Structure 1
Amino acid sequence: MAPPSILMSMFFVVSLLFVTSVLSRTIPNQTIKLDKLSKIQAQLDKINKPAVKTINSPDGDIIDCVLFHDQPAFDLPELKDQKTTLKLPEWPMGYNSSEDTTTRVESIQLWSSSGEECPEGTVPILRTTEEDLFRVSNITRFGKKDIQDTMDLHSYAIVSIRGDQYHGAKTNINVWAPITEPTEFSLAQMWLVSGTYDAKDLNTIEVGWQVYPQRYGSYNPRLFGYWTRDAYQTTGCYNTQCPGFVQTNKRITLGAAIKPISSYNGKQFEIDLLVSKDPNIGDWWLIYGSGIQIGYWPSSLFTGLESHAERLQFGGEIVNSGVNEHTTTQMGSGHFAEEGFGKAAYFKNLNLVNSFNEFIPIPVTNLELIVDHPNCYNLSLLSNNDFGTHFYYGGPGRSPTCL
């Protein structure tokens, strides 16, 4: 048997080797974690602006009331000189706006349902949290679409019109809360489009409602907007998560949850959205209801859309990341179009704004249907005096007919 002194020396050496091994694994992991935390904090400091007032929404969202000129949009160098007097848009001819759009806005979002609003001179911005950034795989692309699955993994049930120079689009969309896989989304929106995805010159403005738990941390349907000028490669983002959209309204903001929502075989709740290009300045305004301005995308953000849209699209979209079987993510109400009013989701009163700033109903005959997985999600296009040009759409996702 070895002397005690040698045994102690051997024990010390073994212990030192063990500690060194543990530290060699722990320190790099700690360094990686601290580095990620540092990047997250830097991103939060960049996105979130100082708040004059903070509003806690019942669903856990935090709304920061930020001075108008401090909002993220004005981080763009080309917008620095737009921090002057806000010039409101000229309405399209034939569009029925209310005489006074400064009156109290009806509550369509959870955060303002108790009567809360931001003080004069400030605008509501949904706060980005540490948890929001932890949920994404790439912090540097936070707020942007994943370009790897922008087209291939998506399913659509939409209508499209092309062949003219479009200066706007308007529709009523009823709001649902479809069942959605945690990493997927389900939405209903209208697109204003110029260029093509393949040529990487795609310009879009996209608005509607969206359920996207990985992005927002909840399954609530949310009012959202998106823009890009290079096919989602490097430009654009959701809502106000990067410089771009200029928020102007005090009670309705992009990214916040919508309330109320539609119920199956019950009351239907709609959002009435117009995107219109101001003929004087050229900015693209987002309008709710009868003339309530939510904000605008400056024309300087775009290339093709700087002048006009080449096509308009309306309808539903989901992400399908299923490998061996179709996703269970629902579109619309989760029910097929043939179930009709009160059961299927719908778009009604499809209208466009032409290059003469005229507000015009879209004829059914001018619309092309794009339904790429009809056994999973479908669409029925109609027209009548009550709903104008309209359609029902949606479906359950994976089912006996959708595998």
Structure 2
Amino acid sequence: MISPKKLILPTFSALGLITVAKSDRTLSLEKDEKELVRSLTSINKLAIKSFQNQVHCFAFRQTEHGDILDCIDINKQLAFDHPLLKNHTIQFAVAEYRHQVFGAKVNFSIWEPEVSPTQFSSASMLIAQGSTEQFQSIRAGWIVYQWLNQNHSRLYTYWTADGFIKTGCYNILCPGFVQVSARIPFGILFGPVSVYDGPQYEVGIRIYKDGNTGDWWLVVYDENVGYWPNSLFTKAGLGHGASLVAYGGEVYSPVKEKSPSMGSAHFPSEGYLKAAYVTNFEVVEGSVATKPLFPVTLFSSTPNFWYNAIFFGGPGKCV
């Protein structure tokens, strides 16, 4: 049985994430630009066109949206350029077991806010551990960010093992994440998207720690997309579980630009069908075996829930 006291931190963190996102727009895109230059050499690999064994190959194909997916031998993907993963092997068998907080899941309503080339707007789940200097985190959700994926709402992740100092990146722009799914790549376009006062569409995302290997797995639409190997993290960080789970929205724009909208571009007070929301959020704590997912008990001084949902978003336009 999970005590309500233990769950106050994850729930308030979800609400705090929105606040932090609004105040975080003073940051510069210089960090992202440097990261892109640093990553170009690593990611400039020739695609291996091998279709003999589709289990071990990401097929070359063009999606209905025009995206080109090249085929790369699963054992030669960028993840294994990481020095800690030189002798790593692909792992498909997964058992869910971990003490402390070792997993979380959530459903996000999918929206497609308008952004300029220097802005982004996203909704994501964050799992984190560690002090400021040793902060380690994994984030996953949808994002509209032209620098990363052109326009439209797409699947993304971001991870770090040292507070964003030397490690971490979006998606697979640096060594680390091991992709195992040939159906759901990073950057896949979400569609259709939710309509204001109309149909609502969701994506379900789960991140959990394998009790045998310690790897952190990403699951999207009930499919194992891949994992961040436990060797990327320290025992003081995500190598020994997580202490923070947060859900919410985030936007970014340069200081002199008006901020983009978040979610549906409408305030949380408008509620279901009109505001963006997260729902079905669950966390995993304690020594439990198969699929140990339990509902989160919500605590808030200003509750605004729809079937255990948290609404977020707004029109932006702030400078």
User: Normalising to structure 2: TM-score of the pair?
Assistant: 0.78
Structure 2 residue identity aligned to 1:364: L
Structure 1 counterpart of 2:190: 258
Would you say the 8 A contact 1:168–1:353 is kept in 2?
A: yes
Structure 2 counterpart of 1:43: 41
One of 210, 215, 220 as aligned partner of 1:283: 215
Following the alignment from structure 1 to structure 2, what is the Cα–Cα distance between the partners of residues 45 and 360? 39
Q: Could you tell me the percent identity over the aligned residues?
A: 36
One of 90, 102, 114 as aligned partner of 1:179: 114
Structure 2 counterpart of 1:203: 136
One of 71, 86, 92 as aligned partner of 1:65: 71
One of 146, 168, 171 as aligned partner of 1:239: 171
- State the Cα distance separating 1:256 from its structure 2 match: 2.2
Following the alignment from structure 1 to structure 2, what is the Cα–Cα distance between the partners of residues 300 and 72? 16
Structure 2 residue identity aligned to 1:344: A
Would you say the 8 A contact 1:287–1:293 is kept in 2?
A: yes
Name the CA shift for 1:183/1:66 in 2 (closer, same or farther; >3 Å).
Answer: same
Q: Which has the larger radius of gyration?
A: 1
- Which moves more between the two structures, 59-68 or 294-303? 59-68
Following the alignment from structure 1 to structure 2, what is the Cα–Cα distance between the partners of residues 44 and 75? 8
Name the CA shift for 1:213/1:342 in 2 (closer, same or farther; >3 Å).
Answer: same
- State the Cα distance separating 1:194 from its structure 2 match: 0.9
Structure 2 counterpart of 1:317: 250
Following the alignment from structure 1 to structure 2, what is the Cα–Cα distance between the partners of residues 382 and 283? 35
Would you say the 8 A contact 1:169–1:312 is kept in 2?
A: yes
Relative CO higher for 1 or 2, CA cutoff 8 Å, sep ≥ 6?
Answer: 2
Would you say the 8 A contact 1:364–1:383 is kept in 2?
A: no
One of 201, 207, 226 as aligned partner of 2:158: 226
Would you say the 8 A contact 1:55–1:63 is kept in 2?
A: yes
- State the Cα distance separating 1:241 from its structure 2 match: 1.1
Superposed CA offset, 1:318-370 (max 9, x none): 113233xx6240100111111111111000011001132431111112x6x9x
Following the alignment from structure 1 to structure 2, what is the Cα–Cα distance between the partners of residues 181 and 60? 21
Would you say the 8 A contact 2:179–2:226 is kept in 1?
A: yes
Name the CA shift for 1:284/1:275 in 2 (closer, same or farther; >3 Å).
Answer: same
One of 78, 81, 86 as aligned partner of 1:80: 86
Structure 2 residue identity aligned to 1:296: Y
Partner secondary structure for residue 80 of structure 2:
helix
Structure 1 counterpart of 2:274: 343
Partner secondary structure for residue 74 of structure 1:
helix
Matched residues, number: 270
Following the alignment from structure 1 to structure 2, what is the Cα–Cα distance between the partners of residues 274 and 258? 17
Q: What is the 5 A alignment of 1:4-23?
A: none
Structure 2 counterpart of 1:90: 95
Structure 1 residue identity aligned to 2:180: T
Following the alignment from structure 1 to structure 2, what is the Cα–Cα distance between the partners of residues 292 and 45? 25
Structure 2 counterpart of 1:393: 312
Superposed CA offset, 1:51-98 (max 9, x none): 4342223444221122211111111232232225x23222469xxxxx
Following the alignment from structure 1 to structure 2, what is the Cα–Cα distance between the partners of residues 343 and 270? 14
Q: Root-mean-square deviation (CA), in Å?
A: 2.5
Q: Which runs of 5+ in 1 are unaligned?
A: 1-38, 94-163, 370-379
Structure 1 counterpart of 2:22: none
Superposed CA offset, 1:206-257 (max 9, x none): 00000001222x2211101111011111101111111111111121111222
- Which moves more between the two structures, 175-184 or 59-68? 59-68
Following the alignment from structure 2 to structure 1, what is the Cα–Cα distance between the partners of residues 41 and 197? 44
Structure 1 counterpart of 2:297: 363
Partner secondary structure for residue 254 of structure 2:
coil
One of 192, 206, 212 as aligned partner of 2:145: 212
Following the alignment from structure 2 to structure 1, what is the Cα–Cα distance between the partners of residues 305 and 93? 33
- State the Cα distance separating 1:381 from its structure 2 match: 4.2
Superposed CA offset, 1:150-197 (max 9, x none): xxxxxxxxxxxxxx931011100011001112201100000001123x
Partner secondary structure for residue 169 of structure 2:
coil
Structure 2 counterpart of 1:124: none
User: Normalising to structure 1: TM-score of the pair?
Assistant: 0.62
Superposed CA offset, 1:24-64 (max 9, x none): xxxxxxxxxxxxxxx89972764554343422234442211
